[in-house]
Amino acid sequence: MLNRLPSSISALLDSRTEGHSLPAGLYTRDDVFAADLDVFFHRHWIQVGLECDVPEPGDAVTLEIGSASLILLRDDDGEIRVIRNSCRHRGARLLDEGRSIVSKLVCPYHQWTYELSGELIHAPHMGMDFDKSCRSLKPVHFKSIGGLIYVCLSDDPPADVAMLEAVMEARLAPYDIRQAKVAFQFDVVEKGNWKLTIENNRECYHCSANHPELCVSFIDLDFGFDPASLSPEDREEAERHQALYDARTREWEADGYPSAAIEQLAGNTTNFRTQRLIIAGAGESQTPDATAASARLLGTMTRKDAGDTHLWGHNSWNHFMGDHAVVITIVPLAADRTLVRTKWLVHQDAVEGVDYDLDKLTSVWLATTDQDSALVERSHAGIADPAYEPGPYSTFTEGQLDNFVTWYIERLRAHGY
């Protein structure tokens, strides 16, 4: 009889072949999913929301991460708070999923009442000796980086988020995401493992055949190419385009827009990459014709041709353009289910139907998200097949995937797997 016990997670990690996709179990197994949630969604910084999700004092929104629920709110002093959505009496959820307006946080079960700071101020029938001071709602480590809310659910948040913070505060400043407006939000549940969602996002090898709308403004070859696989004409154009980057990056930086690629990937704890990318065609925005969707530009931006400042994290990808931004965050729901949440941001004073047309603003990424969802499902189904064996990443176009899974393995190892 063969040994029928499943491999340990550690043995699965050992079995990975360099340069190849992961062994199936790391995408499909429930124990790996539990480890992933714990390590990557509770012990690392994750991007979960926006300051402008709660623009006014008293605005609150819940954030669900696995079985954890957080309350992101703006208190009466206009400060952002992130606290746990579980009453300190018998644990009940204080706020229902979604948006609320609150002056105090009152548990609907027994009326325990908390300040927006989390301080417990009223607990009926608990007696004179009851010490309210040790029953405040639990706070959560968070950072607003240029208006993007990152949280870490552990007590020991990774310190190297400092680099992300330093780099992105500077890059995001002119877009003033803190004061932006969420023009639209769209959720989709992809039928695949969260790492397949991220792998799919880290290459554009699949773009030309799958994303006709995105390819108007996006240049798939920015993500690498094998010169030998292109026609002589395509190869020349690709090489010309690569050369453009040096020139364009120098110009942008001279104009005060930090643009060069900065990466903190494998070898680090907090994973991110940013670079200002050239927008193709009309050169302004990720819209059906690559022209700006919003006449009112973001923040203090004065030009539409400032490219696309992309930002990747291990649970997010973002595109900041002159006229609007697209912010996409993911939360794993099960080994084979991933929530993908997309938000489109415009200037807070931009008026729908006047300054921007909602359809023009959203159509490219709505289509892209839909296409990617189908690809991730196709990918997960095939990986769950007993016939699957890890395949080779292209060194030209899938280097970022190799880097991501290398980081993934490092981080599980660092947490004892």
In the set 16, 135, 141, 360, which binds a second copy (CB under 8 A)?
Answer: 135
Which range, of 48-56, 162-170, 205-213, 300-308, touches a second copy by CB under 8 A? 205-213
Nearest to 279 by CA among 304, 247, 311, 261: 304
Show the tokens assigned to 326. 């697209």
Q: In this structure, are strands 113-114 and 120-122 parallel, antiparallel, or unpaired?
A: antiparallel
In the set 197, 373, 397, 400, which binds a second copy (CB under 8 A)?
Answer: 397
In the set 164, 383, 405, 409, which binds a second copy (CB under 8 A)?
Answer: 383
Cβ neighbors of 340 (< 8 A, separation 6 or more) are 187, 188, 189, 190, 197, 328, 329, 330, 369, 372, 373
Binding mask 146-185 for a second copy (x = CB under 8 A): -------x--------------------------------
- Any idea which residue has 């690629």 for tokens? 261
Residues of span 293-322 touching a second copy by CB under 8 A: none
117 counts as binding a second copy under rule CB under 8 A: no
Binding mask 340-379 for a second copy (x = CB under 8 A): -----------------------------------x--xx
Which range, of 263-271, 303-311, 316-324, 395-403, touches a second copy by CB under 8 A? 395-403
Which range, of 48-56, 85-93, 182-190, 233-241, touches a second copy by CB under 8 A? 85-93
Report how far residue 51's alpha carbon sits from residue 56's, in angstroms, rounded to the nearest whole number.
10
Least distance between a second copy and beta carbon 175 (Å): 33
Report how far residue 13's alpha carbon sits from residue 35's, in angstroms, rounded to the nearest whole number.
12
Nearest to 177 by CA among 47, 321, 52: 52
Binding mask 13-32 for a second copy (x = CB under 8 A): --------x--x--------
235 counts as binding a second copy under rule CB under 8 A: no
Least distance between a second copy and beta carbon 365 (Å): 20
Report how far residue 375's alpha carbon sits from residue 369's, in angstroms, rounded to the nearest whole number.
10
Report how far residue 269's alpha carbon sits from residue 267's, in angstroms, rounded to the nearest whole number.
7
104 counts as binding a second copy under rule CB under 8 A: no
Which range, of 79-87, 177-185, 270-278, 310-318, touches a second copy by CB under 8 A? 79-87
Least distance between a second copy and beta carbon 158 (Å): 18
- Residues pairing with 73 in the sheet: 60, 81
Burial string for 225-249 (b: 16+ CB within 10 Å, else e) reads beeeeeeeeebeebeeeeeebeebb
Cite the DSSP H helix spans in 105-205: 161-172, 194-201
In the set 189, 209, 244, 351, which binds a second copy (CB under 8 A)?
Answer: 209
Burial string for 357-372 (b: 16+ CB within 10 Å, else e) reads eeebbbbbbbebbebb
Residues of span 212-231 touching a second copy by CB under 8 A: 224-226, 228-229
Q: DSSP labels for 240-292?
A: HHHHHHHHHHHHHHHTT---S-EEE-TTSSS-EEEEEEPP-TT-S-SSTTSS-
Binding positions for a second copy, rule: CB under 8 A:
1-2, 4, 21, 24, 35, 42, 66-69, 84-94, 108-111, 124-128, 130, 135, 138, 153, 199, 205-206, 209-210, 224-226, 228-229, 375, 378-379, 381-397, 415-417
